[in-house]
Structure 1
């Protein structure tokens, strides 16, 4: 790869989930690229999905961390029951958008994990603040996990 002498800025545009689902961060939108179905997410649901996708390579995403980083840091109260409801709502939203795979699993009543689904980051690159292109970069693959 050659070095580009000009500054190349980039930012996270969203995530690819599996083969045909995109989560675009701003505005918070789930898009099925195969069917064209799109669903706009409310801020808390968008933060929850973004947090889970960003931490998808962890063995387990702990309840306490999700409750703090997604809810409490934004002035919202949360407990395990509320978190469970939010995760179930997220699963239903993914299904409405046409994503039929079950990807979020509960672990030992302490957290969640993401199944072996391909999750890639969508990055937007700007060269001289004038030209934007979007590229997918895959997150590190996880080893098969028995669920």
Structure 2
């Protein structure tokens, strides 16, 4: 599954800030940071359900610079994947995503609901991470 980007490259994940990686293939969020000392490294990981990861990818790809409507999210995350969509389901999955994000230290206002419009990412440092597939085995 390709999520846009460079011509021959595939999206591997995202870097949020300087220490949180979204690992799409393994459906997890990973945080690696040094605590109060450069000698101690803190590592935490959270596994996401399929639909939660699909929502996160869609939001990180499309809602960084602009608000994405609920209808657009429902169509692209649920309907296009042959899943049953509803505003209630979207609300539940957004809340589950926010809960998982908070477990690794991302603020609850990382994903903002702009009433009547849709959702937007409230973070300025999100970097897509790509890889180039090789023909080598």
Shorter-chain TM range is 0.7 to 0.9
Distance change in 2, residues 1:101/1:108 (3 Å): closer
CA contact (8 A) 1:37 1:98 kept: no
> 1-side partners of 2:79 and 2:9: how far apart?
29
> 2-side partners of 1:106 and 1:77: how far apart?
21
One of 102, 114, 118 as aligned partner of 2:109: 102
The TM-score with structure 1 as length reference comes to: 0.74
Unaligned segments of structure 1, at least 5 residues: 1-8, 131-147
CA contact (8 A) 1:28 1:40 kept: yes
Structure 1 stretches of 4+ moved >3 Å? none
> 1-side partners of 2:132 and 2:83: how far apart?
34
Higher helix share: 2
The TM-score with structure 2 as length reference comes to: 0.79
Please, what is the CA RMSD of the aligned residues?
2.2
Largest Rg, 1 or 2: 1
Unaligned segments of structure 2, at least 5 residues: 1-7, 34-41
- Partner residue in 2 for 1:125: 132
> 2-side partners of 1:78 and 1:19: how far apart?
34
- Partner residue in 1 for 2:36: none
